[in-house]
């Protein structure tokens, strides 16, 4: 659309098989949903990276952490910031 001024949003959407709303949002500068961080996350990006790095380190030593251990790691990081612990609604449910 930048190269062809006569190309409308509607025509470009049909041509590239993309919805008009998606195309309009991209032209307005809105990031795709997959690139956006959910607002309901409790842990920071750094805290998540620490947990993932620890899990990989345990795995390289031949240990696989249980789900409860991962929850405990997340809870201890949240406790350091005086935040509520993770719960069942956050996706870390006991199996």
20 in a structural domain = yes
Name the pLDDT band for 94 (thresholds 50, 70, 90). very low
Q: What is the mean pLDDT of residues 83-93?
A: 67
Domain count, the chain: 2
SS3 state at 24? helix
Q: What is the mean pLDDT of the chain?
A: 84
94 in a structural domain = no
- Whether the CB-CB separation of 10 and 23 falls below 8 Å is answered with no
pTM value is 0.56
Residues 32 and 4 in one domain: yes
Residues 56 and 29 in one domain: no
Residues 1 and 22 in one domain: yes
Confidence (pLDDT) at 95:
40
Domain span holding position 51: 45-82
60 in a structural domain = yes
pLDDT tens digits along 15-43: 889 889 988 888 888 888 888 877 778 89
What does the alpha-carbon distance between residue 94 and residue 88 come to, in Å, rounded to a whole number? 8
């Amino acid at each position: 659309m930048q190269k062809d001024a006569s190309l409308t949003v509607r025509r470009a959407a049909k041509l590239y098989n993309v919805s008009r709303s998606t195309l309009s949002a991209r032209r307005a500068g809105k990031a795709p949903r997959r690139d956006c961080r959910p607002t309901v996350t409790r842990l920071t990006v750094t805290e998540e990276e620490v947990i993932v790095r620890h899990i990989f380190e345990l795995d390289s030593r031949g240990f696989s952490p249980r789900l409860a251990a991962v929850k405990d790691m997340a809870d201890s990081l949240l406790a350091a910031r005086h935040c509520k612990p993770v719960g069942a609604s956050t996706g870390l449910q006991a199996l």
